[in-house]
Amino acid sequence: MNPESIWILLGVLFLGGAIGFYASRKPRPSAIGEERLRGNYLAGVNFLVNEQPDRALEAFLRAAELDDDTVETHFALGSLYRRRGEVDRAIKIHQNIATRESLEPAQREQAGFALAQDYLKAGLLDRAEKILEPLAAAGAHRMAAMRKLMRIYEQEQEWDRAIAVFRELQKAGRAPQENAIAHYYCELAEAARARDALDEAREHLRAARKEVRRFPRGALVRADIAVEQGDFALAERLLGAVLAYDTALAIEVIPRLVRLARSAGEGGPPAVERVVAGRPDAVNEVAIASIMTDALDFAPLEQRVRTCLAQDDAIAGLVRAIGRDPAALDTRAIADIAAVLRHLAARTPRYRCANCGFSSIDHFWQCPACKSWDSQRPLLRFDLVAGLEGGKKS
């Protein structure tokens, strides 16, 4: 018997005691009925001990059918199963509760909410949504149901509906993260931009700005539109502002800056110079973004890469190991090293969520694991190089 089964068993034994307690307090329906209840219950424990969880579940369900007071036992068992990842069994239990005719309205709501959580865990978003919508309108689970609906709409990319739920939560002072709604508007803006509806995109961006005044993602999308429309001065100003605001967003700024520079002709390289000069301290952030964007043909970006590589003990050690001076590498050597790093880094996590520690190769505005917005921070070193250090440096 595995340790989790033991927990389940302990839970059932404890709750089984409760059945006995209630059964002894209630006017007895009949001695035969009570005996069947106990018989089914004991059969359930027996199946559980013998690692036959499906038969155990059937026996427990039969046991509880005879006594309404065992509803709480079912809830507890269902949530235990869900936590163990045995969602099918949790669903079976909660469905069984929900179909009882004698349920109190509060218990019916509780059963619905539990079932919605099971469906969410099983990835059955449509079914969860259907149950949560009425629960989000009224009742004891209203706030929790709205928060879950918001996550479902995010996953389904139903941004208008996510905005509507967010507003309701906001009214109740229960919005989980204030900037989430600005991201929803940015999502709408990006979608509009993708189908060339630029006026609509700008409207969504204005709405985002109304929610959060200095919102970097909004500025980035606006910069994309500005580059497309040839308004390079505006794009430069926006990209400079984003980098100045948060150097962790260099990975979003540098590719756009390069696009701007390549579109702007002669005015391109000076624009790169000015934007990067706004944050002289952001050496590694800009260098890593430049390596990943393959943008070393712009002198200020190559300079940051050069400085970053010379300051990195591991890389400097490797360079010395092949008889070169890390502070005096020519452009070709820098480009070669950058190409190797780009290749390695494309397969190694470069971001970590400050909220839950989830790491990823690509940058996400919303953490795929804990769903918080703007929580990913870039790793400012190439981890692989650290791995190579021992073998090459000595």
Query: Which parts of this chain interact with Zn ion (CB under 5 A)?
Result: 353, 355-356, 358, 367, 369-370
Decide whether 86 or 154 has the Cβ nearer to Zn ion: 154
Helix (H) or strand (E) holding 291: helix 283-293
Coil, helix or strand at residue 377: strand
Least separation in angstroms between CB 338 and Zn ion: 29
- Cα 185 to Cα 162: distance, rounded to the nearest angstrom: 10
Residue 62, classified by CB atoms within 10 Å of its CB into exposed (0-12), middle (13-18) or buried (19+), is: middle
Decide whether 361 or 370 has the Cβ nearer to Zn ion: 370
Decide whether 223 or 353 has the Cβ nearer to Zn ion: 353
CB–CB of 318/385 below 8 Å? yes
Least separation in angstroms between CB 359 and Zn ion: 9
Name the CA radius of gyration of the chain, rounded. Answer: 29
Decide whether 356 or 380 has the Cβ nearer to Zn ion: 356
Least separation in angstroms between CB 358 and Zn ion: 4
Least separation in angstroms between CB 217 and Zn ion: 17
Least separation in angstroms between CB 146 and Zn ion: 21
Decide whether 45 or 369 has the Cβ nearer to Zn ion: 369
Least separation in angstroms between CB 79 and Zn ion: 24
- Residue in 138, 139, 119 with CA at minimum distance from that of residue 128: 119
- Residue in 169, 249, 250 with CA at minimum distance from that of residue 215: 249
Burial 198-216 (b: 16+ CB within 10 A, else e): eeebbebbebbbebbeebb
Residues 6+ apart with CB under 8 A from 203: none
DSSP 105-159: HHHHHHHHHHHHHHHHHTT-HHHHHHHHHHHHHSSTTHHHHHHHHHHHHHHHT-H
- Residue in 153, 152, 171 with CA at minimum distance from that of residue 162: 153
Q: Determine the Cα angle at 208 with ends 138 and 357, to 5°.
A: 80
Decide whether 284 or 366 has the Cβ nearer to Zn ion: 366
Decide whether 233 or 370 has the Cβ nearer to Zn ion: 370
Side chain identity, residue 111: A
Least separation in angstroms between CB 370 and Zn ion: 3
Decide whether 119 or 358 has the Cβ nearer to Zn ion: 358
Q: Measured between alpha carbons, how far apart are the two ends of the chain, in Å?
A: 51
Least separation in angstroms between CB 309 and Zn ion: 30
Decide whether 155 or 355 has the Cβ nearer to Zn ion: 355
Side chain identity, residue 133: E
CA atoms within 13 A on the CB side of 218: 21
Least separation in angstroms between CB 212 and Zn ion: 20
